Structure 1
Amino acid sequence: MTPISTRVQVHRRKQVLVWKEAKLGPAAAEEPRSKSKICANVFCGAGRECAVTEKGEPTCLCIEQCKPHKRPVCGSNGKTYLNHCELHRDACLTGSKIQVDYDGHCKEKKSENPAASPVVCYQSDRDELRRRVIQWLEAEIIPDGWFSKGSNYSEVLDKYFKSFDNGDSRLDSTEFLKFVEQNETAVNITTYMDQETNKLLRGLCVDALIELSDENADWKLSFNEFLKCLSPSFNPPEKKCALEDETYEDGAETEVECNRCVCACGNWVCTAMTCEGKNEKVPGQRRHPEQDLTEEELARYVQELQKHQVSVELGTSAYTKSLLTRIPSVSATWRLPGR
């Protein structure tokens, strides 16, 4: 879900960027000094930084990029952050109040009747992974020298595409994930406590990235699709989920009997537990193969969640599906396209 504060943040930063572009030229060298003077007595608070508007006035915006220091902290929202800066930046971007609960990764909170939730990649997770990958790729651009040719952004992507492609001129989710895992900063998305679930999260976010530009819906990217997906000028769309003629923002939740469903990247993602009785709590344990949902049960999911949708798709790659069965708390996740 993208709050209003985030949209305002993006709009205001664009205004600042436009002003910066207008200053390019002989006067550009004076910009850092001018900004330091204008922002000299401005205090923006944690998670924010001072920027200069097109009118030459100081304004506080959410920090665009934190330094990749590894000092994990657990937020009051139960989410683990790479460092204090990332926590305060997230609080600023989401417009929510998040405090440091304690240093280190968040510990699992046990309850008598734990209700399972599906492991999902939210739009913010998808976009953050994409931002880190683009930042890493841009750092590998080599300008042309006097006697040597450098490498532009497209050529850098082409190099990696060929390195991880198995020869079919397509990158599937397994190959895309191996590409992403080449960079430690890009990989370090630690929303969950255990590493196995975080590995699954990366797989889901890679699927979400593939879905952005997979024009023929084959869960593989050609080089042109790969280039579009990671183009700095491409703005990923904000998708909503449909339910009973209404639309819901990313992160919205609902329940169908004992199963919990979450809206993530435009799809309802649900746990797939067999319910012995209505409103029964979902046991946090691994399901056995014989407990898989029947066609009738899946049809009931569709009727309850999306009356205008006639079929259920398991909208994850083969790689992600193989990981799902290894997560004790969530053994199966069904994805219902929110069209």
Structure 2
Amino acid sequence: MRFQCVALILLIVVCLATEITANKSKHKRYKKRPAAISLDEVPSEPSSPEQAAEEPEVAPPSDNDVIDNRVPLMDPCMEVRCGAGRICQVSDDGEPECVCIPNCPVETESRRKVCSNYNETWSSDCAVYQQRCLCDKGDAECKGPQYKHVHIEYYGECREMRECTEEEMADFPRRMRDWLFNIMRDLADREELTPHYLNMAREAESNLTLRWTNAAVWKFCELDGHPPDRSISRHELFPIRAPLMALEHCIAPFLNKCDSDNNHRINLSEWAKCLNLEEEEIEHQCEELTDAE
């Protein structure tokens, strides 16, 4: 009887041990493994927010992490300013240089034509500037040495101008002084002058002695182009000559008389004499020059 009890207990122990071993083998056999991904397959998006939270985020590289070996290309002509009739061109050595414009646009409208100081009609202002550049550089296409100083008298085809009489020429400096003062005062009222020249305009309004001198100096400074060199070239006279040619037939001979030494430039002393002003009343007050001194 006792033997049967012991045998029964052993049988129960063996059965329990077998069942435990089977359960462990079952769990091990069906343990989930990550699915294999082909090189040609693209991983799918997370199916749930929880799954997305478990996956680490990969931040894009910052600017500090990227090494840029590219060298920015700079145009050598970007800061170069060439005169009329010239363009900037990069030489074989990679240096910027101003050359004569090779071709001017073809103009068909008559209003684009210009009349030169030699009383010749040109197809455009570009053609005049181009010719002056070619002669300045001694190019074979230069029509003659005199064209080194060719400039535009006015826009439109050349026309017969009435002769300026001696009486008209004698009175012209006074009329020019008044015209310059009125223009300066009008620009001051419209606040189109810099503070430097605005102050000169206000002085001229309250002081009769400065009425004409300040206006003359202001216009001289305005015409003195880039760079300011204390003189006005025939080309720089264009803004004052061309608009008046149709109305004032004396403007061209008047400005020609201002260049007393015929060097194709008018200095401040010549400008003062031309306007019948005393030289001692005129002094250089150009904004660019006074700032640099």
Structure (1 or 2) with the greater helix fraction: 2
Q: What is the TM-score with the length of structure 1 in the denominator?
A: 0.21
Q: For the pair shown, which has the larger CA radius of gyration, 1 or 2?
A: 2
Q: Which has the higher contact order (CA 8 A, sep 6+)?
A: 1
Q: What is the TM-score with the length of structure 2 in the denominator?
A: 0.25
